[in-house]
Structure 1
Amino acid sequence: MKMIEIKVEGMSCQHCVAAIENSVGKLSGVESVQVDLAKGTASVSYNEATLDRSSIEKEIEEQGYDVVSSS
Structure 2
Amino acid sequence: MQLTLEVNGMSCEHCEKSVKNALNSLEGVHGVNIDLDSGKVDVTFDDAYVTKAMMKEAIEAQGYEPVG
Give the shorter-chain TM-score range: over 0.9
Alignment-mate amino acid for residue 63 of structure 1:
Q
* 4+ runs deviating over 2 angstroms: none
- Cα deviation, 1:5-63, whole Å, max 9, x if unaligned, reads 00000011110001011111111000001111001011101001111110001100110
Name structure 1 gaps, 5 residues minimum: none
Q: Which residue of 1 aligns with 2:5?
A: 6
Count of residue pairs brought into register by the alignment: 68
Q: If the length of structure 1 is used for normalisation, what is the TM-score?
A: 0.92
Q: Which residue of 2 aligns with 1:52?
A: 51
SS in 2 for 1:42: strand
Q: If the length of structure 2 is used for normalisation, what is the TM-score?
A: 0.95
Matched, 1:37 2:36: yes
Q: CA RMSD in A?
A: 0.7
Matched residues in 2 for 1:23 and 1:15: separation?
Answer: 12
